[in-house]
Amino acid sequence: MAGVPMVTLSNGQLMPVIGMGTMSMVGPEATKPAVVEAVKAGYRHFDTAYSYKSEKALGEGIREALELGLIESRDEVFITTKLACGFADPSLVLDGIKASLRWVYEQGVSIVAKSFDKERMRENIDIFDWSLSEDESDKIGQLPQHKAVVFANVYGQHDVVLHLDAEL
Among the listed residues 43, 52, 105, 155, the single catalytic one is 52
Answer yes or no: 52 catalytic. Answer: yes
- CA dist., res. 161 & res. 154, Å (int): 10
Long-range contacts of 161-167 (CB under 8 A, 24+ apart): 165/11, 165/12
Longest dimension (CA), the chain: 52
Residue 148, beta-bridge partner list: none
Nearest one of 82, 6, 9 to 47, comparing CA atoms: 82
Q: Which residues contact 61 (CB under 8 A, 6 or more apart)?
A: 31, 32, 33, 34, 35, 36, 38, 39
Catalytic residues: 52
